[in-house]
Amino acid sequence: MENARRTQSVLTARRAGLVGCTTCGRVHARQAVTCRRCGSRLASRDTGSLQRVWAWLFAGMIAYIPANLYPMLVTSTFGKTQQNTIVGGVIELFDHGSWGVALIVFVASVLIPIGKFIAIAYLAVSARSAVVIRGHGRQHLYEVVEFIGRWSMIDVFVVAILAALVQLDFVATVHPGIAAASFALSVAFTMISAQNFDPRLLWDAYEADDT
């Protein structure tokens, strides 16, 4: 591991008059614009970061509303048509007695998206204002949010598989509902929002503290 060795006192790239590349970790002189090693764009602090985070976050929240109001799955069995929203699907699974799966779906499509909205908003607010949790806590929160966001896509894939598989003409057919599309959009938007967040902003208040 390249970063296993640790130095005793912390020297940030910015205080050393350098700028670090977020993709490959190489440091450059302040005025460098692109990284010589990997070619990504360099910026000591991404100044437009918070603006983009908020924009994508609101887009994600807006797309999440129709995702819960409209049906996710349209099932017809022997001529009877039944429409299921996200929460409806969870309740149905719960009634069948498959608590484990109901829990997975509930966590992936309700808890994680809402938790992500709150977490991203909190990080974006706290990057500006006084430190509430110290850097480590917030950095962990950021990493968890970034890692877990993609798992919300589960529900979209479940719908895709069900709709592909259950096509038995009269006996049973499953069609995807419009909520699947807006849910996928919501997940994608919040993923972009989390990626736009510059975690270095979290450490600036911390750094100012110990000088």
Partner 1 sequence: MTRIVMLAATAAVLMIAAIFFPFLELQVGGLSRKSSVFDAITAFSASGMLPLSIAVAALIVVLPFARLVAIAYALGPMALGWHPAPQAARAFRWAEATRPWAMAEIFIVGVAVALVKITGLAKVTPGPAFWAFAALVLVTVLKDSFMCRLTVWKTLEERSRS
Question: For binding to partner 1 (CB under 8 A), which residues are involved?
Answer: 1-3, 23-26, 37-40, 93, 96, 98, 101, 104-105, 146, 149-151, 153-169, 171-172, 175-176, 178, 180-181, 184, 188, 191, 195
Angle between helices 200-209 and 135-148 (to 10 degrees): 170
List, as own/partner pairs, every contact residues 159-164 make where C-beta atoms lie below 8 angstroms and the sequence separation is at least 24, other chains included.
159/72, 159/73, 162/73, 163/73
Q: How many residues are recorded in the chain?
A: 211
Cβ atoms of 86 and 179 within 8 Å: the answer is yes
Residue with the two structure tokens 């640790």: 6
Q: Retrieve residue 195's tokens.
A: 């990626």
How many CA atoms within 13 Å lie on the side-chain side of 123?
Answer: 34
In angstroms, what is the minimal distance from the CB of 154 to partner 1?
Answer: 5
Least Å distance, CB 205 to partner 1, is 27
Neighbours of 184 (CB within 10 A): 19
How far apart are CB 160 and partner 1 at their closest, in Å?
5
Q: Smallest distance, Å, CB 25 to partner 1? A: 5
User: C-beta of 66: minimal distance to partner 1 in Å?
Assistant: 13
Q: Measured from the CB atom, is 17 or 25 closer to partner 1?
A: 25
- Residue among 55 and 178 whose Cβ is closer to partner 1: 178
